[in-house]
Amino acid sequence: MNLKKNTLLASKWILICALIGFFSGTASAFFLVALEWVTHYREAHNWIIWLLPIGGLIVGLSYHYYGKDVVKGNNLLLEEYENPQQTIPLKMAPLVLIGTLITHLFGGSAGREGTAVQMGGAIADQFKGIFNLDDSDRKILIILGISAGFASVFGTPLAGALFALEVLYFSKITYKSIVLSFLVAYFSYYTVEIWHVKHTHYHIPTVPDITAIMLGWIVIVSILFGFAAMLFSRSTHFWGKLFSKTIPYAPLRPFVGGIILATAFYFIGTTKYIGLGVPVIVDAFSNANNSYDFLLKILFTGFTLGAGFKGGEVTPLFFIGATLGSALSIIVPLPIALLAGMGFVAVFSGATHTPIACTVMGLELFGIESGLFIAIACIVAYYSSGSVGIYHSQIVKGAKYKLYQRFKTKDLKDF
């Protein structure tokens, strides 16, 4: 009897994973194709950047009238996991999809991870009612949605599964949720493959042996990657608070922000800091970047998202890390591609408090040969990036939390 019950239960969850993986993967595949189209269109018609304020107004009005209950985005997923209240409205998926495409079409500086994760989370949460699940099982659904969205949009199923678990700091994570997170990640990953949608590939051709001197350089640059992650996180929060404080009417925030951004892009005379910036990321693996490229990406992405435009933070974090690592190659005696790859995942690690997932992502993207360099970079950047990440609803726990609490306690005693 127990065997039959367990078999039915396992079959039910495999079906749920397959459905979430298929629908999330399909949504991500459509999103990636549409995103590529709007990016090519914008690059071929640069004048469209002057319509960024109009695009911002459309996004602002859409969320003001139809999406007030989902405007928190990724933070809503984290809050619902920690304290379940009500099913995440399915409208989150089309709203963030359309909002992100508008942002990229008209030249905002944003990413794509947030969009895929929100679509995955909204899709997954609908299965609570369909399968009559309780709040405990609903937490698993949110994990599955995050895993499916991340794995499908980046083509990294192992990292996607771990990211969904680690971003929640393994809070009340069960063995069942771990297994299912990996299962749904592969379902969504292969769904994108079925739709013949390709992901960007990166390559680190040369990986030297680690020496004591080289280890010192790795730690130094990794600390810098952590500082860059900290600057990005605080910049995004700063601009969000500033816009909320100075412009009470939410739909006007991206409108005003769009005017400022379009004017700024006109005067700097380049489009390399808008959109995803994937060509710049790829180029960073072979050519040294300007020392200020990562700073301008931090500025423009933080401003774009703080103003209320939609999109993710992760691909801009890739841009920031890769260009910073590339620029450091001028003075650091490490291969340029290795430095770019280390920065690519280390800045992401620091900004999201997910060193394990980021290390695995580095292995999936760059190969196991660079694994030790990637792991050190992710861990050091994680610890040196401060206690504030890009998700303000994320609960920081574990060794990093204890470390910063110890410093705060010591400072109070000294005072």
Residues 241, 127 share a domain: no
Token duo for residue 2: 């127990």
CATH number for the domain that contains residue 364:
1.10.3080.10
The DSSP line for 226-249 is: HHHHHHHHHHHHHHHHHHHHH--S
Residue 99 to residue 97: CA distance in whole angstroms: 5
Q: How many other C-beta atoms are found inside a 10 Å radius of the C-beta of residue 287?
A: 12
Domain membership of residue 268 (yes or no) is: yes
- E strand or H helix that includes residue 315: helix 314-328
pLDDT value of position 415 = 33
pLDDT value of position 414 = 42
If you search the block for the tokens 């890009």, which residue do you land on?
A: 390
Domain membership of residue 290 (yes or no) is: yes
pLDDT value of position 120 = 97
DSSP E strands in 81-239: the ranges are none
Domain membership of residue 240 (yes or no) is: yes
Domain membership of residue 242 (yes or no) is: yes
Angle at 115 between CA 148 and CA 60, to 5 degrees: 155
Domain interval for residue 30: 2-194
Q: What is the DSSP letter of 51?
A: G
pLDDT value of position 412 = 40
Residues 378, 263 share a domain: yes
> In 3-state terms, what secondary structure has residue 18?
helix
Residues 285, 146 share a domain: no
3-state SS of the chain: helix, strand, coil percent to 5? 75, 0, 25
Long-range (24+ apart) CB contacts under 8 A made by 278-281 are 278/200, 278/315, 280/319, 280/322, 280/323, 281/200, 281/202, 281/315, 281/318, 281/319, 281/322, 281/323, 281/340, 281/344
Q: What is the DSSP letter of 335?
A: -
Specify whether the CB–CB gap between 360 and 158 falls below 8 A.
yes
Q: What is the DSSP letter of 288?
A: P
Residue 329 to residue 217: CA distance in whole angstroms: 11
Domain membership of residue 91 (yes or no) is: yes
Residues 216, 173 share a domain: no
Residues 364, 392 share a domain: yes
Domain membership of residue 206 (yes or no) is: no
Residue 164 to residue 207: CA distance in whole angstroms: 30
Closest CA to 34 of 89, 128, 100: 100
Residues 171, 230 share a domain: no
**Tens digits of pLDDT across the chain (415 residues):** 588 888 899 999 999 999 999 999 999 999 999 999 999 999 999 999 999 999 999 999 999 999 999 999 999 999 999 888 899 999 999 999 999 999 999 999 999 999 999 999 999 999 999 999 988 899 999 999 999 999 999 999 999 999 999 998 755 678 899 999 999 999 999 999 999 999 988 999 999 999 999 999 999 999 999 999 999 999 999 999 999 999 999 999 999 999 999 999 999 999 999 999 999 999 999 999 999 999 999 999 999 999 999 999 999 999 999 999 999 999 999 999 999 999 999 999 999 999 999 999 999 999 999 999 999 999 999 999 998 899 987 766 655 656 555 555 555 444 3
Residue 110 to residue 87: CA distance in whole angstroms: 27
Last residue of a domain, one of 165, 194, 223: 194
Residues 240, 181 share a domain: no
Tally of structural domains, the chain = 2
The residue length of the chain stands at: 415
Q: What is the DSSP letter of 394?
A: P
Residues 295, 158 share a domain: no
Specify whether the CB–CB gap between 351 and 385 falls below 8 A.
yes
Residues 381, 244 share a domain: yes
Token duo for residue 363: 């292995």
Domain membership of residue 207 (yes or no) is: no
Domain membership of residue 412 (yes or no) is: no
Residues 183, 223 share a domain: no
Residues 234, 320 share a domain: yes
